[in-house]
Amino acid sequence: MSVIENSKLAIVGAGAVGTSLAYAALIRESAREVALYDINSTKVAAEVLDLAHGTQFTGASRVTGGDDLDVVSDANIVVITAGARQHPGQSRLDMAGVNVEILRDLMPKLVERAPDAIFVLVTNPVDVLAVAAQQFSGLPPARVFGSGTVLDSSRLRWMLSERVGVAISNVHALIVGEHGDSEFPLWSQARIGPISLADWMLTRSAGGSASSPGPVPFTEAEFESIANDVKNAAYRVIEGKGATNYAIGLSGARIVEAVLRDEGAILPVSSVLTDYRGVSGVALSVPSVIDASGIARVIDVPFSPKEQALFEHSAATLRASLDTLGLA
């Protein structure tokens, strides 16, 4: 499926995440034009040049950009990566206040220049900022949403694929809730191929104890360990290299493609919910159908009683942050 004719992706922020997203979008041919904006004129000019110099190898895409916000004009989709950087030991919610104020100024200007665009937040804390951006833009939640747990779910699928020894494309599992410390895997709906994860049998060489008579199922302790590894993955990367950028760039490009190709793809993005399993007024990640209109549908997925309780806890965590920021 090809991208819509003359499709334009605008990226706000030429830091590590924004430039990784631009690079991923170019090599994946996610959009016909990639426009990069940043207030740092020297930095953004250099990034645009560096990316443009490689376009011989990336198909028909072109790269534009600069420090004038007009570079986003008439974009089909705008991805916002600008904001305070997360430092080692700092939670995503710690950055909320500064980034909310950035959006308060930025969103009306972006909507003025790209009135028909879909807006995707990648800046953390993405769930809080999805609420803020939706309020400041005046657009419906279907057109202003966060990247949510698309990356977290990819991390989960990678860990499971390594654990069971199958291709990651055959692992079907999602992280839902907050993109942060209260997120959790939707284990009740997870599958390896056509087999539920609860029924999947592990060989002893893949992790069963030496005393096991044969293949064994996952244990609750293993589920808990994997969930914790996913939850802490970003902190490990930030501690080692200062930022997460490649994987979030790729996952951002995947969301862009779902919109520009009008795919109807199911992705766990973060949007402001209305009576979703009893939760309203906060942005949390749940499986959603993404097409050219943005979020075409939020899917009502069955939760186990434990998952419902975790989801309500995640909602309460976000609501407390929104209250503190005056966004509730």
Residues annotated as part of the active site: 179
* Beta strand extents in 140-268 (DSSP E only): 144-146, 171-172, 175-176, 184-185, 191-192, 195-196, 201-202, 216-217, 265-267
**Are 29 and 62 a contacting pair, CB within 8 Å?**
no
Structure tokens that stand for 179 in this block: 């993109």
Contacts of 134 (CB under 8 A, 6+ apart): 140, 141, 144, 145, 271, 272, 283
Residues 6+ apart with CB under 8 A from 80: 12, 13, 103, 106, 110, 119, 120, 121, 122, 123, 133
**What's phi and psi for 270, nearest 5 deg?**
-110, 115
Cα 305 to Cα 70: distance, rounded to the nearest angstrom: 49
Which residue is associated with the tokens 């808990």?
A: 224
Measuring CA to CA, how many Å separate 129 from each of 7, 93, 279, 325, 327? 25, 10, 18, 11, 10
- In whole angstroms, give the CA distance from residue 320 to residue 292: 33
DSSP element (H, E) containing 102: helix 96-113
Residue recorded with tokens 């096991």: 212
Task: Name which of 247, 249, 298 is nearest 277 in CA terms.
Answer: 298
Of 86, 75, 177, residue with least CA distance to 123: 86
Q: Which residues contact 46 (CB under 8 A, 6 or more apart)?
A: none
